[in-house]
Amino acid sequence: MIKDLNKDNNSCAAWIVKFLLERKVKYIFGLQGGHIQPIWDYCYKLGIEIIDVRDEKAAVHMAQAYNYFTGKIGVAMVTAGPGVTNTVTGVANAFLSNSSILLIGGCTPMPQSNMGPLQDIPHVDILRPITNYSRTARVPEQLIRELDLAFSYAIGHIGDPGPSYFEVPTDILRESVEEKLILKEWMIEKKKYEIYPNAQDISEAVKTIQKAKKPILITGRGASNDREQVLNFINKFKIPYLDTQDSRGLIPHSNPNNIFAARSRAMSEADLVILVGRKLDYQLAFGSPAVFKSAKFIRISDSPSELTDNRRGHPEILSKPGEALKQISNKLTKFNFDNLWISDLRKFHKEKLKKAQHKNIPKLGDDNKINPNLIFQVLNKKIKENFIGIADGGDILSFARIGLNSQYYLDSGVFGCLGVGIPYAIAASKVFKKKKVICVTGDGSFGFNALELDTAVKNSSNICVIISNNGGWNIEKHDQRLNYGNRVYATDLSHSDYAALARSLGAFGVRVEKPERLEEAIIKALENTPSVVDVVTSATIMSSDALKGLGFVRKYQALDVWDDMELEYRKN
């Protein structure tokens, strides 16, 4: 007999969904369970689309990508116990990326607390170290006030942006709350605070720039909404520009100030680094004077944590990055940059590019399998930059950072989190409905969330997944071979037929074992999304990260060359 036990439009579950609608939430990424069914049902009744996944971690990855590509909060919802614990890696990844996500979790009814109920575990304690906010809402009339607070923590009203975790016992979800007890101020849409720079900081920044001869500007995640202001600034003053993993695509590679091929030289020779929306973590050698030999830093961000780590700024400007750059630009009327150095840096960059372009790329490795560089050669030839590029993996990520030249780009990030590729791509396809979304992934990283192809098929996601199938955890295999006496152990994978897996799930799948078939296969896959191109690639062609020793984990720095510089610096 069919019953309807979820008819109270003033239930806490109903209020949660009405709150999310007020906040313009269009999608929730999640996996259903009994503890959250009252909310899930109201999403159906009130019209929030749920993208239901095969694993909860993927839901959080999707929420993170949605936040990255839209600037809006990403919302995920999961059930109690394993539902919540399965999200831990995804939440940690979002936390380290300062991503605004709201994770709604289920938990056991209050009368069953501490009695050994189904799926009972201290979710809040588990997630507290990797969230801005982690709470159980137990008082019905205060539930929306607490949800409003969780939302504020997530979007950065109380510190850096980052994940919030909010859970409600199932019995509380069914409690009714009168409308007069839900204050309108808790419900109405909240936006990120706009922080404007201190005039004294702007003046100090101008003075610092005026003293510089060899400035460079480096961006990170925090500059993602300030493309126009960054572009205007570097173009006006002809300042050499470098991106990082989380700001790829912000400034086109074709811009003459983007000297990405001269990265090491620019970092070593600059006397001033204008760092915009970026931490000085391992990807920037922690700002070490061993690598940035003569540099002072100006640090600009609307997140305090991106102003003070490892190296202090002269000044440190807490502000909307675009607004700070605009004000500096207006006041910077005199400067004395070394134009010869800038010109020589650009020339060096162009020569490196020209050399790389004219370099003969062998089609096969020593094992007679396809060179992974050919994947990017085909993409650059056929679709240029007009697509969304997602990169996922260890070894293949190194190739992708050089070869995947897309207008919008997202990868495994500072956490090095494998398995993000397909979830990120599915979320991107919800945002960019008329653009191609291309995910290039390794065979190892593909395995983490391979079954999300099922989610892609259900949602008719316009995604093409290209797998570099080299039969192993390749960056680790090279490390074992080069640094551990060639004892290659437990790092092999089978060259499994992932195209057949894709077809079994209802996606288009094609396997490529010959280089001359690669271009045709990719074109056909782009026309028949969701799709998988399973490219059997060579394990003998070393990526730049493998060559630089990333797998070895050196003492002071991530890369061999930087670690050697650090050792030399400490000696002298």
Question: What are the catalytic residues?
Answer: 476
Cis peptide bond prior to 315, omega within 30° of 0:
yes
Q: Which amino acid is at 459?
A: N
Alpha-carbon span 330 to 233, nearest angstrom: 10
- Largest Cα–Cα distance of the chain, in whole Å? 83
CA dist 263 and 265 (Å) reads 6
Cα gap 205→9, rounded to integer Å: 55
| Alpha helices per DSSP H over 393-543 | 395-403, 421-431, 443-448, 452-458, 474-483, 498-504, 518-526
Per-residue 3-state assignment (H helix, E strand, C coil) for 353-408: HHHHHHCCCCCECCCCCECCHHHHHHHHHHCCCCCEEEEECCHHHHHHHHHCCCCE
Q: Cα(237)–Cα(332) distance, rounded to whole angstroms?
A: 9
Nearest alpha-carbon partner for 248 in 270, 232, 267, 263:
263
Query: Which H helix or E strand runs over 242?
Result: strand 241-242
CB 309 within 8 A of CB 298: no
Relative orientation angle of helices 373-382 and 395-403, to the nearest 10 degrees:
30
- H or E element: which one contains 563? helix 560-571
Residue 410 is classified by DSSP as: E
Q: Are 102 and 151 in contact (CB under 8 A)?
A: yes
Residues found in the chain: 572
CA distance linking residue 265 with residue 404, whole number of Å: 22
CA distance 172 to 168: 7
The token duo for 464 is 């093409």
Q: How far apart are CA 565 and CA 557, in angstroms?
A: 9
Alpha-carbon distance 264 to 260, whole Å? 9
- Please report, in angstroms and rounded to a whole number, the separation of the first and last CA atoms in the chain: 82
